[in-house]
């Protein structure tokens, strides 16, 4: 069990882990412009669901002892920042990438 100082991080990891496990598929279904390629590509969707669900499982496991899983936590944070930065630049540069 995490100590009191790590409790907020543990909670954050647990919540995001569960979102990654159970939330990606519904987001693809109900917010397709945010999560699906247009036209739809089922292979891409299956791959993304698999990657995020797997990451979610490991985040849930890391929530029990965050200090022991620092590299996983850093990878998750920095790869998410890099991904969102790249997607933002692409959306700004390519009008076809913007929501209609």
Q: Which residues, 6 or more positions from 22, have their beta carbon under 8 angstroms from its beta carbon?
A: 56
What average pLDDT does this structure show over 68-85?
Answer: 94
Query: Rounded to an integer, what distance in angstroms lies between the CA atom of residue 95 and that of residue 81?
Result: 22
Q: Which residue has the higher pLDDT, 33 or 46?
A: 46
Share of the chain above pLDDT 70, in %: 94
Query: Rounded to an integer, what distance in angstroms lies between the CA atom of residue 3 and that of residue 25?
Result: 33
pLDDT band at 32 (very low <50, low <70, confident <90, very high): confident
User: Does the structure show a pLDDT above 80 at 78?
Assistant: yes
Helix axes 7-22, 42-62, angle to 10 degrees: 160
pLDDT band at 22 (very low <50, low <70, confident <90, very high): very high
pLDDT the model gives residue 97: 62
């Amino acid at each position: 069990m995490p100590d009191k100082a790590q409790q907020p991080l543990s909670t954050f990891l647990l919540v995001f882990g569960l979102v990654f496990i159970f939330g990606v598929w519904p987001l693809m279904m109900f917010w397709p412009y945010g999560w699906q390629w247009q036209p739809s590509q089922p292979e891409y969707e299956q791959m993304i669901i698999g990657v995020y669900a797997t990451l979610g499982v490991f985040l849930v496991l890391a929530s029990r002892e965050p200090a022991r899983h620092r590299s996983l936590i850093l990878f998750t944070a920095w790869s998410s920042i890099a991904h969102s930065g790249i997607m933002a630049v692409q959306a700004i540069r390519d009008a076809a990438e913007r929501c209609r």
